[in-house]
Homo-oligomer: A and B are copies of this chain.
Amino acid sequence: MIVAPRHFSALARRSAEPPISWLMKLALDRPDLISLAAGFTDNGTLPVEEVRQITRDILRRPQTARPALQYGTSLGLPQLRHEIWRRWQRQDQIAGRRSPVTANDVIVTNGSQQLLYLITEVLCDSGDVVLVEDPTYFVYLGIIEAMGIRAVGFGSTSSLKSKLESLKRRRLLPRLKLLYLVTYFQNPTGRTWSLDAKRETLDIVKRYERAAGHTLYIVEDAAYRDLRFEGQDIPSFKTLDPGNARVGYTNTLTKPFATGIKIGYGILPPALMRAVLHSKGNHDFGSSNFLQAVLGRALAGGLYERHLPRIAAAYRRKRDVMVAQLCASFPNRARYEKPHGGLYVWVELDSRVKTGLKSKLFQRALDAGVLYVPGELCYCSDPSRPIPQNGIRLSFGGPTIQQIQKGVRLLADALE
């Protein structure tokens, strides 16, 4: 690992090459590789025809083309923000109920990743504390590391309580700024939070606000919410925050549509929104107006909504194939759950097996032509526990059915 020179900033010196870049590069350098690693989306269901139709409509007349090709504002295109707001109301069955949330509480960003960066940047200084799930989204851990934040991982509400107690005892609660939670088909575990778990978590967290001396924000990353294959949608944390005071809800429009059109959004409490908006002004003073116009039309015209069942069907099939192949290739040697949506299956091997970047298994799998995300990347460095070494994140988003079958078989062979 090459560390930044001494005269670079502390942030640069703390930033390693993000594993995601390294994994993507590996996949690009060896096109024969079956990548079960990157969260790429399915190529076959990309909405080519939809985007063609929308861009043609926008660019047909100067009245619609010119505003789309001109600068917008830091907050985002009003029409898109309005559509996002209405969609969220429908999804969380908020429409008609009293809520202080309006389209002005919606901000548009360059994917939801940028919003996670902005939120963390405006809340945390180096040395501050963030609570994350154990395991969690590994690209978020890159932000944590770069900013010099102490991450504390928890695996259940009882572990959350004990971590908060420990922070209280060590007088670290004033440094705790937010909980980062991936609540739908989590990356990497595929698990979804129940509404009860959300309610209980919020109750617990509120009890520590007095000792913290400030609002403890819940940042709910709902990036996979729209990729549900079966079962009922679950209301967001936002529905438990009727005053819009403590939950920052982040989501993406492009994971379930087209990842090349990189647009995410958030619904944020006013104080957090103000700070994020100011920082967004410094980062880029607004996301591409053209992409926002495209997605605004995709939402307004129903193309987006009609696209969802199509990709859900494609991913459901891939998930089924992956789980069936795991069952066939890993009898009694692995634990995994069947996720009800998203892009990932989380596999835990025997606790003596190591899956890390430097492990024999990773190297053998690579030699055999298959790439996965080692589970170790998904755990924060929390000195209170060793990092579990036996997890594997498999993605069924990008590879074909045949690649999934072959990839899982090769992985099982490598484990022999």
> Which residues of A pack against B, CB within 8 Å?
2, 4-12, 15-18, 20-21, 24-25, 28, 38, 40-41, 43, 46-48, 51-52, 55-56, 59-60, 62, 65-74, 110-111, 113-114, 117, 121-125, 128, 139, 142-143, 146, 174, 177, 212-215, 258-262, 271, 274-275, 277-279, 281-291, 293
Contact = CB atoms under 8 A, between A and B. Distances in A.
**9 shortest A-B CB distances, which residue pairs?**
A18-B281, A7-B214, A260-B289, A12-B122, A69-B258, A52-B59, A69-B260, A260-B290, A12-B275
> What is the oligomeric copy number?
2
A41 B199 CA distance: 49
B122 A282 contact: no
Given A15-B278, A275-B12, A288-B260, A46 B70 contact: yes
9 contacts: A4-B271, A7-B213, A17-B277, A18-B74, A20-B285, A71-B259, A71-B260, A262-B288, A288-B291
Contacts of A262: 284, 286-289
A171 to B, nearest CB: 15
A25 B278 CA distance: 13
Given A5-B214, A275-B15, A287-B110, A71 B282 contact: no
B8 A122 contact: yes
Given A4-B275, A110-B284, A260-B293, 15 more contacts: A4-B271, A8-B275, A11-B279, A17-B274, A21-B278, A46-B66, A48-B65, A51-B65, A69-B260, A69-B261, A70-B258, A70-B260, A117-B282, A139-B282, A288-B291
A321 to B, nearest CB: 21
A82 to B, nearest CB: 15
A286 B404 CA distance: 26
Contact of A73 (B21, B59, B258): B21
Contact of A122 (B9, B65, B214, B293): B9
Contacts of A65: 46, 48, 51-52
Contact of A38 (B20, B71, B291): B71
Contacts of A48: 59, 62, 65-66, 69
Contacts of A122: 4, 8-9, 11-12, 15
